[in-house]
Structure 1
Amino acid sequence: MEDKSEPRKELAGFLIKYHSKQLESIILSPDPRIHYPILIDFAELMDENPHLANHIFSNSVEYLSLFDESAIWAQKVMFEDFKKFENATVKEYVHVRVNVCGSPLECPETFPSIGRVRVKHRGILLTLKGTVIRSGTVKMIEGEKIYECRICKHRFKVHPEVETRNSIPKPTFCPSQNCESTRFQIVEDTKICHDYQEIKIQESTQVLGVGAIPRSIPVILKDDLVDIVKAGDDVIVTGVLTAKWSSDMKGVRCDLDPVLIANHVRRMNELKSSIDIPDDVILKFKQFWLEFKDAPLKGRNAILRGICPQVFGLFTVKLAVALTLIGGVQHVDASGTKVRGESHLLLVGDPGTGKSQFLKFAAKLSNRSVITTGLGSTSAGLTVSAVKDGGEWMLEAGALVLADGGLCCIDEFDSMREHDRATIHEAMEQQTISVAKAGLVTTLSTRTIVFGATNPKGHYDPDQPLSVNTTLSGPLLSRFDIVLVLLDTKNPEWDAVVSSHILFEQAEPGKGNSDENLTNSWPLPLLRRYIHFVKGYFRPVLTKEAEKVISSYYQLQRRSATHNAARTTVRMLESLIRLAQAHARLMFRNEVTRLDAITAILCIESSMTTSAIVDNVGNALHSNFTENPDEEYAKQERLILEKLSCIDEFPGINMLEG
């Protein structure tokens, strides 16, 4: 047999040299029964000892277990310095977790997509990236059995085999030299159990080619890795590929299925919530707003032009998309109930008004997004489904759960079945999904922005309420912060402008995007960073002026709510606050001013079929960017404050007029 003492010494030396702090904290930890991880970087090991790093890569099963043994050995070497401490002990359950990110192993050969996993990858250190779509229950499995030879009394360990569903095979011969015995007995009181969990990861739809169906692979998590990920998490898993016999069900062919035994799991969700935006980019944002200090709305419009630049005009829709993606501030009221900060947007419009284009672009702007269509989404596909796997029921995440912390785009919202539509009520307002399926009773989190698009039922009738035109119920409509109606009315002037814009784009494609000047239009990567930065950096607070404007508007709407009774609820007040906070963030501020409150009112007015303030709301489809938005705003502000009968409380407005 090959002597492994030399590589064991080298691995222990590496751990003592680079990870003495982790070893020290493990030795001083009080509980000897817990499984402790030691996180190492493969790149670091490669610099220190390329020969050993190659062994760990090419002969992973043997050398990873050797690495775990060397961690125990390293503890024994260091233990002499910690004898005086009361809790100091050498821990038996230590696992070395290898992080390959940033190492030469980050190449297509060892970092393939899930659909490209083949037999050639078996036995090597493999890394896969995907989304957790199923998370099984945590079980206990027997880790090893110790057998004793009845003739030579030699004791040896036998480990379970994944291929035969974790059963421990009975040894056929004695591994001791010069002993050919086939008679053994199990040594009692040596049973070691491990935590065991199976999850399923699916490749991300963003990396797939045209028409490709996403593939999935089961992943086995053991000991300290169990329960660290849940359905909907984006993960990078490093482990060893092996095979496992599929369940022996009657009438089903028994096959060897690929399965990844995880050594290291890295969640990507935390990374997304804390994307490092370089200081020079933040400085660029601040510089941009310094330039537009005197004309802030002109600066805002420059940002909005970057949203879906291929669609001409539609200023109202672009503003609504920006405010929805940025969202307000979540808070907890006096009773301990969470009031959501995420906004929801619904576009109702005739065919060819660019609804789906906005959906696709919004998905690009969000760090985490799921796109689905109404007809293709059952209630299980939207929320969660119970699936039976190997005789055991488990939950599989749907679109809203997978989009937790991001954006869920639902196209053809009206084609969803009535039963399926009812399931998203709770997901939109309480941001949870309560499940009671197949004996699994739980609540899942859905802190997601819902962006829906739908066609009106037949010809849109302005005299009928929105619920009649869209066949969506009043309670569901009230959950949307903004509902924009895009009607394709025949307007010769507008048609001429739009056609010339499209023809210019065809003649000189991409000319607008190459412009580095931010005063014109922002490119997509910078826009995504800006939205992410303002969401995390600013927590706007309402000023007295903003409170007064929002309160007056809400009361006016309640008094005149006959046509929009379904939408003028307390939810509308919360929507106004969220939109005002989102606009303050968009304007790079930490306080909600009168400007933000009035912009929120204009958004809500655009989404009402009949207006309580503006006599002619106008078609959102024909809204365009104005040359002097600040002057335009001053007129709108005066008009709104007069309608709200609170212009006298803002003397600055009268002075401006004078």
Structure 2
Amino acid sequence: MDNSNGMAKELAGFLIKHYTEQLHSIILSPDPRLHYPLLVDFAELLDDNPTLAHLLFSHPAEYLLVFDEAAIWAQKVIFKDLKQWDNASVKDYVHVRINVSGSPLECPETFPSIGRVRVKHRGILLTLKGTVIRSGAIKMIEGEKIYECRNCKHRFKVYPEVETRNVIPKPTICPSQSSKFCESTRFNLIEDNKICHDYQEIKIQENAQVLGVGAIPRSIPVILKDDLVDTVKAGDDVIVTGVLTAKWSPDVKDVRCDLDPVLVANYVRRMNEVKSGIDIPDDVIMKFKQFWLDFKNAPLKGRNAILRGICPQVFGLFTVKLAVALTLIGGVQHVDASGTKVRGESHLLLVGDPGTGKSQFLKFAAKLSNRSVITTGLGSTSAGLTVTAVKDGGEWMLEAGALVLADGGLCCIDEFDSMRGHDRATIHEAMEQQTISVAKAGLVTTLSTRTSVFGATNPKGQYDPDESLSVNTTLSGPLLSRFDIVLVLLDKKNPEWDAVVSSHILAEGEKENDNCNEDLKSTWPFPMLRRYIHFVKRNFRPVLSKEAENVISRYFQLQRRSATQNAARTTVRMLESLIRLAQAHARLMFRNEVTRLDAITAILCIESSMTTSAIVDSVGNALHSNFAENPDEEYAKQEMLILQKLCIIDEFPDLKSNLQ
């Protein structure tokens, strides 16, 4: 006991030396009944006192309690200077939380993947990284019981055991270490000191993207107590530091009772904010700015150079690459007059014949996104896509599906048409309102799904151009209207196109081919492209100019008048889609203003997704769309054509003079 007191005083000195500010804020907090965290960097403790750091690493269950005592000692020392404040008081419930980031504990031995957790990790300070797939209800458990020995009157605390599902065991022998050992077996329970703790169980699963092909992602339950409770929700990426222990599995009929590994958390760090900010050095930002300065006079040539970096192994398909870039970048989320959020994320659907490269685009887009989940229509029931209620140990809890796990990222759904009708209906709300409302097994809640949906599907049999998109894909009108862009890739068996594509595929294997090398030099490398998309998404919030508003408004009115086959697509949602795509294109072009160029490019994207075009001959088959030799000249022709069709060319004097 004396040794532990000495250790507590030594640790208190360390806390006073390095964490006075945190201790001040705890002492000045008004509510003495709350549990307060005190965040300590393991690297700092290692520098200051390597012996203590080693003891904390090797015997965390024992020394974390000593550290908590030290926090109370440190408060008492500092409290003398803060007595004059009204709210100042020494808090009894302070928990030291160990942050291991930047310390030697970030090595594979003490930072293993969840699937590699073994018995050797038991009892040491362990750190695991994963995604929260399930969060249980918050409960209350008794924290400790105080017993008094009837013989020597020694008082001692007994804590709950995780192994026996948090039951506090009765003491078997008096632990007194006075001059003569008592060894009594008779005790009185002191009832006047009941301490309860908040308690929650979550389950974290290792990220499937870091696993090899064929590996099944493993999961582990994590116990959160006191101030850690309710800090994370399903879908969050977390790094958990704690102590690995085991508990008996629930007693279920005909099921063997085993010891299951469980991590008792000491500190939980959410990674969502960190993850969205991919590290972009200043020299890379300067490269981006210099790139656009070089292409100042031919901006679309610069844009096409970026688009070539998307799926470079697929020849051509300019329209699809542009659509993928705009979907990944997305528009700006805003709140309308009624307080309703209008989504900024775009959704993309590729409808095409087999072998048109749909799945390749899906996989490449998933790599480009900072957070992505890939699934197939057949592999996803409504539970696998949205959320399901599962029973664990007699308690119902929610388990997150693909759309919830992809919150803040991209959800790729291949074979979109393979889903059952009931399953398709569940994603209507997730795509438009970006929430999933759940009422299952008495659990009524709403989960966030701020995700872009990228779907791919084959047409039902032979694609019939005379029929509407709904008939060709067997997807309902309301579902189709939620997609900003629906691209139809038809394999028309064009001999010239086949010759060009086959030579491109064969040339990929020939390193000495000059054209191939030139082509590779002109594409942006993958890491650069990924950083660029995240940079423009984070730093630009484009605003519509009057010209862009006029063009978009006129086009929407024209589509509404001529909507016969495309009634499912020409809803007010199409107007929002046009705005989102124009904003995404402005971001892609490294700008904070949506110009006429962006509005017309958005119109060209929407035209590509119409089975019958309101502006005749403006776009061809998306599959055979190639990169133009001189995109700026090509664009000028398309711009004239579109503005003439919209009957607003008179409003742009610069273009009118060119026309004359």
Give the Å deviation of 1:517.
9.7
**Aligned AA (1:234):** D
1-structure distance, mates of 2:121, 2:514: 45
Shift of 1:515: 8.4
Looking at structure 1, the residues matched to 26 and 87 of structure 2 have their Cα atoms a distance apart, in angstroms, of 10
SS of 1:241's partner is strand
Number of the residue aligned with 2:152: 152
Cα distance in 2 between the residues matched to 1:493 and 1:10: 80
1: distance between equivalents of 2:58 and 2:644? 76
Residue 499 (structure 1) shift: 1.1
**From 444, 465, 470, the counterpart of 1:467:** 470
User: Within the alignment, does 1:210 sit opposite 2:213 as a pair?
Assistant: yes
Superposition RMSD on alpha carbons, in Å? 1.6
* Offset at residue 73 of structure 1 (A): 1.1
User: Where does residue 138 of structure 2 map in the other structure?
Assistant: 138
The corresponding residue for 1:398 is 401
Specify the alignment match of 1:557 in structure 2.
559
List per-residue Cα deviations over 1:510-544 (Å, max 9, x = no partner): 999998998x2111111111111111111111111
Instruction: Tell whether 2:165 aligns with 1:162.
Output: no
* Secondary structure of 1:599 counterpart: helix
**1:614–1:640 CA contact under 8 A, matched in 2:** no
Paired AA for residue 130 in structure 2: G
Q: Is residue 235–residue 400 contact of structure 2 (8 Å, CA) maintained in 1?
A: yes
Q: Secondary structure at the match of 2:439?
A: strand
Say whether 1:440 aligns with 2:443: yes
Q: For residue 3 of structure 1, what is the aligned residue in structure 2? A: 3
**Deviations 1:8-44 (CA, angstroms, capped at 9, x unpaired):** 2221111111111111111111111111111111111
1:526-579 per-position Cα deviation (integer Å, ceiling 9, x unaligned): 111111111111111111111111111111111111011111110111101110
Match of residue 636 from structure 2? 634
Of the three residues 256, 276, 280, the one matched with 1:277 is: 280
Counterpart AA for 2:151: I
| TM-superposed deviation, 1:180 | 2.2
Structure 2 residue 250 is the aligned partner of structure 1 residue 247: yes
Mapped to 2, the partners of 1:615 and 1:307 lie a distance apart of 26
Number of matched residues?
Answer: 657
1:272: how far off? 2.1
Contact 2:552–2:578 (CA<8 Å) still a contact in 1? yes
Query: 600, 623, 626: which one pairs with 1:624?
Result: 626
- Tell me the CA shift for residue 231 of structure 1: 0.2
Q: How does 1:530-569 map to 2 (within 5 A)?
A: 530-569=532-571
**Any idea what the Cα deviations from partners look like across 1:171-194, whole Å, max 9, x if unmatched?**
111111321221111111200001
Q: For the residues of structure 1 that align with 2:254 and 2:266, how far apart are their CA atoms?
A: 35
Is the contact between residue 508 and residue 516 of structure 2 (CA under 8 Å) also seen in structure 1?
no
Counterpart of 1:599 in structure 2 is 601
Give the superposition deviation at 1:79: 1.7
Question: Residue 570 of structure 1 corresponds to which residue in structure 2?
Answer: 572
CA distance in 1, matches of 2:555, 2:183: 92
* Contact 1:512–1:521 (CA under 8 A) maintained in structure 2: no
Pick closer, same or farther for the CA change 1:510–1:195 going to 2, 3 Å.
farther
What code does the residue aligned with 1:424 have? Answer: I
SS at the partner of 1:138? strand
Distance in structure 1 (CA, Å) of the matches to 2:432 and 2:511: 45
Tell me whether 1:300 sits opposite 2:303 in the alignment: yes
Distance in 1 separating the partners of 2:536 and 2:609: 25
Aligned partners of 2:74, 2:280: CA distance in 1, in Å?
A: 39
For residues 56 and 511 of structure 1, the distance between their equivalents in structure 2, rounded to whole angstroms, comes to 61
Residue 363 of structure 1 corresponds to 366
State the alpha-carbon separation in 1 of the partners of residues 106 and 548 from structure 2: 51
Structure 1 residue 58, shift from structure 2 partner: 0.8
Partners of 2:395 and 2:492 in 1: CA distance: 56
Tell me how far apart the structure 1 counterparts of residues 587 and 212 of structure 2 sit (CA, whole Å): 36
User: 1: distance between equivalents of 2:69 and 2:642?
Assistant: 74
The answer to whether the Cα contact below 8 Å between 1:513 and 1:523 also exists between their aligned partners in 2 is: no
Which residue is 1:490 aligned to? 493
For residues 523 and 659 of structure 2, the distance between their equivalents in structure 1, rounded to whole angstroms, comes to: 32
TM-score between the two structures when normalised by the length of structure 1: 0.98
* Contact 1:513–1:521 under 8 Å retained in 2: no
The one-letter code sitting in structure 1 at the alignment partner of 2:494 is: N
- The answer to whether residue 230 in structure 2 is matched with residue 227 in structure 1 is yes
Q: Bigger CA drift: 607-616 or 376-385? A: 607-616
Matches of 2:212 and 2:582 in 1, distance apart?
40
Query: Within 1, Cα distance between the matches of 2:486 and 2:514?
Result: 32
Following superposition, the deviation at residue 2 of structure 1 comes to: 7.4
* Aligned amino acid, residue 422 of structure 1: A
Aligned-partner residue type, residue 391 of structure 2 = K
Q: Which residue of 2 aligns with 1:84?
A: 84
Task: Check the 8 A contact 1:149/1:185 in 2, yes or no.
Answer: yes
C-alpha displacement at 1:656, in angstroms? Answer: 2.6
CA gap of 1:394–1:512, structure 2 versus 1, over 3 A, is farther
Matched, 1:649 2:648: no
CA distance in 1, matches of 2:51, 2:59: 12
SS at match of 1:266: strand
CA contact (8 A) 2:604 2:619 kept: no
Change (3 A) 1:36 1:424: same
Which residues in structure 2 correspond to 1:426-437 (within 5 Å)? Answer: 426-437=429-440
Q: Structure 2, unaligned stretches of length 5 or more?
A: none
Residue 183 of structure 1 corresponds to 186
Structure 2 CA distance for partners of 1:256 and 1:265, relative to 1, 3 Å: same
TM-aligned CA deviation for residue 236 of structure 1 = 0.5
Give 1:80 deviation, angstroms: 1.6
Distance 1:255 1:577, change over 3 A: same
Instruction: Please name the residue that 1:30 is paired with.
Output: 30
Secondary structure at the counterpart of residue 90 of structure 1:
coil
Q: 1:78-124: CA deviations, max 9, x gaps?
A: 22211222222111111111111111111111111101100000000
Question: CA separation in 2, counterparts of 1:513 and 1:434?
Answer: 51
Q: What is the alpha-carbon distance in structure 2 between the residues aligned to residue 179 and residue 378 of structure 1?
A: 63
Deviates more, 1:270-279 or 1:625-634: 270-279
Gaps of 5+ in 1: none
State yes or no: 1:313 paired with 2:292: no
Distance 1:29 1:89 in 2: 8
Give the direction of change, closer, same or farther, for the CA distance of 1:318–1:510 in structure 2 (3 Å limit): farther
Match of 1:87, SS state, is coil
Instruction: Give the ranges of 4+ consecutive aligned residues of structure 1 lying more than 4 Å apart after TM superposition.
Output: 509-518
Which range moved further: 30-39 or 369-378?
30-39
Alpha-carbon shift at residue 7 of structure 1 (Å)? 2.4
**SS of the residue 1:3 aligns to:** helix
Task: Report if the CA contact (8 A) 2:36-2:95 is conserved.
Answer: yes
Equivalent in the alignment of 1:528: 530
Say yes or no: does 1:372 pair with 2:368. Answer: no
SS of the counterpart of 2:635?
helix
User: Hey, what's the Cα distance between the residues in 1 that align with 2:525 and 2:589?
Assistant: 18
CA distance in 1, matches of 2:643, 2:450: 35
Aligned residue number for residue 173 of structure 2: 173
Q: Distance in 2 between matches of 1:449 and 1:219?
A: 30
- Cα distance change on mapping 1:263 and 1:146 into 2, 3 Å: same
**Between 243-252 and 386-395, the greater mean CA deviation after superposition:** 243-252
Instruction: Kindly state the Cα deviation for residue 277 of structure 1 after the two structures are TM-superposed.
Output: 2.2
> For the residues of structure 1 that align with 2:362 and 2:595, how far apart are their CA atoms?
30
CA gap of 1:313–1:441, structure 2 versus 1, over 3 A, is same
